């Protein structure tokens, strides 16, 4: 059985509240789970102790038995110091989209044209005086 440590959403509309659960990976997100391991309340301030609560002994138990944490749970475990921080590499995330690149190119072209226009008239009067 492929086990996952993941978030199960609760709470009302626009008021999210999550349970950290150990569940079979084939079960739906809010469906059946094996064990509740903690809670996560994203509406609380980031420095609040109540924001993320985890039963570290049980989480370690499930990790030792082969459960895979999801990306978000992995980051919570890294913040808690249970897991070592992994290097993430997404080189395309920082690059602007096509429209933003086009706008930047247009802006650069206008700046170059303005610089040429500013330099060209300054040289012409000097040539006329000779």
Q: What is the CATH number of the domain that holds 76?
A: 3.30.1320.10
Asked, for residue 116, whether it belongs to a domain, the answer is yes
Do 20 and 68 lie in one domain? The reply is: yes
The predicted model scores a pTM of: 0.65
Asked, for residue 91, whether it belongs to a domain, the answer is no
pLDDT confidence band for 127 (50 / 70 / 90):
low
Asked, for residue 88, whether it belongs to a domain, the answer is no
Do 13 and 74 lie in one domain? The reply is: yes
Domain count within the chain: 2
- Domain range for residue 54? 3-80
* Structure confidence at residue 65 (pLDDT): 92
Do 21 and 63 lie in one domain? The reply is: yes
Neighbours of 25 (CB within 10 A): 12
Percent above pLDDT 70 for the chain: 92
Handedness of CA 86, 91, 96, 97 (dihedral sign): negative
Asked, for residue 87, whether it belongs to a domain, the answer is no
State how far the alpha carbon of 33 is from the alpha carbons of 28, 93, 105, 107, 129, in Å: 9, 33, 52, 54, 88
Cross-strand bridge partners of residue 100? none
Kindly give the residue spans of alpha helices, DSSP state H, lying in the chain: 56-64, 71-80, 98-129
Rounded CA Rg of the chain: 27
Q: Looking at per-residue confidence, does 81 or 109 come out higher?
A: 109
Q: Whats the size of the chain, residue-wise? A: 130
Do 74 and 100 lie in one domain? The reply is: no
Do 119 and 75 lie in one domain? The reply is: no
Question: What residues have CB less than 8 Å from 67, skipping those under 6 apart?
Answer: 3, 4, 5, 22
Do 65 and 104 lie in one domain? The reply is: no
**Which tokens sit at 52?**
């993320």
Domain end residue (candidates: 80, 106, 122): 80
**Which tokens sit at 96?**
């602007």
Do 27 and 66 lie in one domain? The reply is: yes
């Amino acid at each position: 059985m492929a086990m996952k440590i993941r978030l199960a959403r609760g709470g009302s509309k626009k008021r999210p509240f999550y349970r950290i659960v150990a569940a079979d990976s084939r079960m739906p997100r809010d469906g059946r789970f094996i064990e509740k391991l903690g809670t996560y309340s994203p509406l609380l301030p980031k420095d609040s102790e109540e924001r993320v609560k985890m039963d570290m002994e049980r989480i370690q138990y499930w990790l030792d038995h082969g459960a895979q944490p999801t990306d978000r749970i992995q980051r919570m475990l890294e913040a808690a110091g249970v897991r070592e921080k992994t290097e993430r590499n997404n080189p395309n995330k920082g690059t602007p989209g096509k429209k933003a690149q086009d706008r930047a190119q247009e802006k650069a072209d206008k700046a170059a044209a303005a610089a040429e226009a500013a330099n060209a008239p300054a040289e012409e009067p000097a040539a006329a005086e000779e």
